[in-house]
Amino acid sequence: MSQLSVVPLSKVRLPAAPTLREQNLVHGDGCFAYFRGCTAYYSYDLAKVDSVVTTDASNIMNIAICGGNAWKHGPSPASAAAVSTIAVLAVATSSGIHVWDASASMRFIHTLEIKGGCRSIAWVPSNGRAPGSIVLAVGSMEDSSIHFLHVTSSSLKLISTVLNPGVRGSSVCMASSPFTNSFVSCDISGSITFWSLPSGADSDISAGNPGSFAVAHTTTFTEDAPTCVCCISGSLSKETEPANVSSSSAGPFASWPLWACGFASGKVVIFDARGMEVCEIGAHVRGVTGIDYCSFTNGSGMHGGMLGTVSEDSVLQIFGIPSPQMLANSMPITLIGSTKIIDSILTGVGFPHSSAVCVVAYDSVSLQVMSLE
């Protein structure tokens, strides 16, 4: 992939600086959210902050934009049931979960107290729910439990709690791929867990069959702790996988989708759906604090993408992710763009579209938007 110039484009004034916490910038198509203390800030158009919500005295640990325009930079999921007709801002706090309907001028939906508090949160794709509802996964602060919740425009219901027996700590970050109905969680002890998700009717999920959500397998990186994770090939389907690779082959690209996980050491590991390591990238000299992926299709119909990472070292890195066909033929993942944000501890990164990237920093009241040329 060709080299990119990362050029400052604009700065969006923020009401408050982000809390110093990993992945403190989440977004969908044209909208973003971040948090500080017990307050979350939401924008619909990347031009200004439109909504401010508060969780009273509960400190926010993580946030997620779920449903609606949260899917971005890729073709529609294979199943229409994987797309929600509502969009919500979900907030995990030290006391529980708070959810607002972002498609209805940030109307408050519900709050649910969870013993011990929550540390991480993500939208779980599921072909077993109808449009108009969302399944959330929430990581406990006190153990390895993952709580699964069913959300509609008027309710928030706990449907299942699964204790992950293969890990020792609480989940610090999560990610999902709606295109392949995949979900992973990463815990503080260095383990990455792949989950099997339900595929029954929406009524079955909301009924809360404990067997619907289960651990599929776990990969452990004992020498390091994950900090953030994202799916980097969520738009891939059987039609776009390399023709010479089968799901039963022993090669490093045998199982889609691929995932990227940032670690406290500054490295980024790319792994496949079996938990097999595809490659390791020495991305930063300090801990990775944010990660995001943007996919695209070029004029020749080849799929590829960009992986953006930020760190406490003040550097934004952009890596070129080759198409599945090129990856299968051992084409390397390369650094295609980089810039240093002077005197900034970066806490989040996101691609609003394929020609721009934005970052936020601790103790800074600016969302910095940069053009990729």
Number of structural domains found in the chain: 1
pLDDT confidence bin for 309, thresholds 50/70/90: very high
Chain centroid offset of residue 247 CA = 25
Whether residue 23 lies inside any domain: the answer is yes
Pair 340, 361: CB distance under 8 Å: no
pTM: 0.85
Q: What is the residue range of 76's domain? A: 13-238+253-291
- Please enumerate in sequence order all residues whose Cβ is within 8 A of that of 252, keeping only pairs 6 or more positions apart, or say none: 272, 276, 277, 278, 279
| Residue 207: pLDDT band with limits 50, 70, 90 | low
Per-residue pLDDT, averaged over 69-90, amounts to: 49
**363 lies in some domain:** no
Neighbours of 30 (CB within 10 A): 14
- Collect contacts of 316-319 with beta carbons under 8 A, ≥24 apart: 316/6, 316/340, 316/341, 316/346, 316/349, 316/357, 316/359, 316/370, 317/283, 317/284, 318/4, 318/6, 318/357, 318/372, 319/268, 319/281, 319/283
With pLDDT > 70 as the criterion, what percentage of the chain qualifies?
A: 76
Q: Which of 294, 361, 290, 372 is nearest to 337 (CA)?
A: 372
Please give the pLDDT value at position 206: 53
Candidates 60, 82, 72, 62; CA nearest to 31 is 72
Q: Is 110 helix (H, G, I), strand (E, B) or coil?
A: strand
Q: Within a domain: residue 329? A: no
Give the pLDDT confidence score for residue 69 in this predicted structure: 44
Question: Does 194 fall in a domain?
Answer: yes
d(Cα 318, Cα 306) in Å, to the nearest integer?
6
Tokens found for residue 289: 């604090």
Higher pLDDT, 301 or 307: 307
CATH of residue 33:
2.130.10.10
| Both tokens assigned to 311 | 């760190």
Contacts of 300 (CB under 8 A, 6+ apart): none
Report yes or no on 246 lying in a domain: no
Inside any domain, residue 17: yes
Phi/psi at 162 (nearest 5 deg)? -120, 120
β-partners of residue 185 are 174, 193
352 phi-psi bin (left φ>0, alpha ψ -120 to 50, beta other): alpha
**pLDDT band at 332; cut points 50, 70, 90:** confident
Least confident interval from 49-63, 76-90, 213-227: 76-90
Q: Quick one: pLDDT at residue 213? A: 81
Determine, yes or no, domain membership for 75.
yes
pLDDT for 130 beyond 70: no
List, for residues 228-279, the tens digit of each pLDDT value.
Answer: 999 886 444 343 444 333 333 334 444 577 899 999 999 999 888 888 888 8
Which residues, other chains included, contact 248 with Cβ-Cβ below 8 Å and sequence gap of 6+?
A: 254
Q: Is residue 261 part of a domain?
A: yes
Q: Please determine, for residue 18, whether its predicted confidence score (pLDDT) is greater than 90.
A: yes
